[in-house]
């Protein structure tokens, strides 16, 4: 006998059968979505570690876990990590095109010198792929005060040039006086000293990348890194504390867009200087 009413509408699973499927949507850069819970609306700016970053029309950013809870044109969606792009030219963190199947070159005699470990780590994270293709090694000086000693021990030549990146290169600073003296000295032709205006390389990371409005002001007479850690409520008593603070800051850097333009142009200038043909 035919069942004119069909199956039991109250049987287990009836809610799931009646629910409209929620589509999965890859969280591609610039996709605009709304957060269902609070109405926050923004464009996708980054996807990493199971989270998606959204930026609203005022430039404010917030981080959300991938998955459900999002709307597109009023309809529910589940945001998923976008698939890796296999077609087209890929770019390095510095914005350069990736050189496919390129092995690192034997290191050039020329060098890029930076003041400390944190500077070297930042340059490596953003420009590392480019430097390996060019065969450029980054070394740190432990302070620009030691530059004269290095130049005396290993004088530069037309085929072994030094590009030097320093912090706080502003008129009247100690760094600017050292740079001027080297430029006037016997090695000036084969040494290029450039720098950014910030007290420390930490400030070369944009506030936006860190999710803050601006870097805190540190009172005169206070160690700058210590003052920054205090302002953020981070431990600061030991060198290890400072190192962990820097690793947290560095983890927020993914591409050149996370760095201040005042640093970007200077590093590119040094790469060009040390890789230019001798002559």
Residue 197 within a domain: yes
Q: Are residues 42 and 115 in the same domain?
A: no
Spatial CA neighbour of 32 closest among 4, 52, 16: 52
Domain boundary among 58, 80, 102: 80
Residue 206 within a domain: yes
- Mapping DSSP onto H, E and C, the string for the chain reads CCCCCCCCCCCCCHHHHHCCCCCEEECCCCCEEEECCCCCEEEEEEEECCEEEEECCCCCEEEEECEEEEEECCEEEEEECCCCCCCCCCECCCCCECCCCCCCCCCCCCEEEECCHHHHHHHHHHHHHHHHHHCCEEEECCCHHHHHHHHHHCCCCCCCCEEEEECCCCCCCHHHHHHHHHHHCCCHHHEEEEECCCCCHHHHECHHHHCCCCCCCCCCCCCHHHHHHHHHCCCCCCHHHHHHHHHHHHHCCCCHHHECHHHHHHHHHHHHHHHCCCC
Domain boundary among 60, 80, 100: 80
What is residue 95's predicted lDDT score, i.e. its pLDDT? 59
Residue 223 within a domain: no
Q: Are residues 138 and 58 in the same domain?
A: no
Residue 49 within a domain: yes
Residue 92 within a domain: no
Q: Are residues 32 and 117 in the same domain?
A: no
What is residue 234's predicted lDDT score, i.e. its pLDDT? 94
What is residue 87's predicted lDDT score, i.e. its pLDDT? 45
Full pLDDT tens readout for the chain, 279 residues? 555 555 555 555 555 555 678 999 999 988 889 999 988 998 898 888 788 999 887 778 899 999 999 999 888 999 999 887 654 456 666 555 555 545 555 678 899 999 889 999 999 999 988 888 888 889 988 888 889 889 999 999 999 999 999 998 999 888 899 999 999 999 999 999 999 999 999 999 999 999 999 999 999 899 999 999 999 999 999 999 999 999 999 999 988 889 999 999 999 999 999 998 875
What is residue 200's predicted lDDT score, i.e. its pLDDT? 93
Q: Are residues 67 and 116 in the same domain?
A: no
| Stated pTM of the model | 0.64
Q: What is the CATH number of the domain that holds 150?
A: 3.40.50
What is residue 96's predicted lDDT score, i.e. its pLDDT? 57
Q: Are residues 182 and 259 in the same domain?
A: yes
Q: Are residues 69 and 135 in the same domain?
A: no
Q: How many domains does the chain have?
A: 2
User: Residue 68 sits in which domain range?
Assistant: 14-80
Q: Are residues 24 and 70 in the same domain?
A: yes
Residue 238 within a domain: no
CA atoms within 13 A on the CB side of 261: 0
- For residue 166 the two structure tokens come to 């320093």
Residue 38 within a domain: yes
Residue 178 within a domain: yes
**φ/ψ bin of 65: left (φ > 0), alpha (ψ from -120 to 50), beta (otherwise):** beta
Domain boundary among 80, 97, 120: 80
């Amino acid at each position: 006998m035919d069942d004119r009413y069909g199956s039991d509408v109250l049987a287990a699973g009836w809610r799931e059968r009646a629910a409209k499927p929620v589509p999965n949507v890859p969280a591609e850069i610039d996709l605009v979505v709304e957060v269902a819970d609070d109405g926050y609306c923004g464009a996708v700016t980054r996807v990493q570690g199971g989270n998606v970053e959204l930026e609203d029309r005022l430039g404010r950013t917030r981080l959300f876990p991938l998955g459900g809870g999002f709307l597109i044109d009023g309809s529910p969606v589940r945001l998923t990590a976008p698939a890796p792009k296999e077609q087209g030219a890929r770019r390095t963190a510095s914005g350069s095109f990736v050189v496919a199947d390129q092995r690192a070159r034997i290191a050039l005699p020329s060098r890029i010198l930076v003041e400390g470990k944190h500077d070297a780590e930042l340059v490596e994270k953003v420009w590392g792929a480019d430097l390996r293709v060019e065969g450029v090694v980054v070394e740190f000086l432990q302070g620009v005060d030691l530059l004269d000693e290095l130049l005396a021990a290993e004088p530069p030549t037309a085929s072994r040039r030094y590009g030097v990146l320093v912090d706080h290169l502003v008129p009247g600073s100690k760094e600017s006086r050292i740079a001027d003296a080297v430029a006037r000295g016997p090695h000036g032709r084969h040494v290029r000293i450039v720098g950014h205006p910030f007290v420390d390389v930490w400030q070369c990371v944009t506030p936006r990348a860190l999710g803050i409005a601006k870097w805190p002001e540190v009172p005169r007479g206070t160690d700058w890194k210590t003052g920054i850690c205090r302002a953020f409520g981070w431990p600061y008593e030991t060198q290890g504390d400072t190192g962990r603070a820097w690793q947290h800051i560095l983890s927020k850097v993914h591409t050149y867009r996370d760095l201040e333009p005042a640093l970007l142009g200077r590093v590119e200038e040094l790469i060009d200087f040390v890789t230019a043909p001798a002559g």
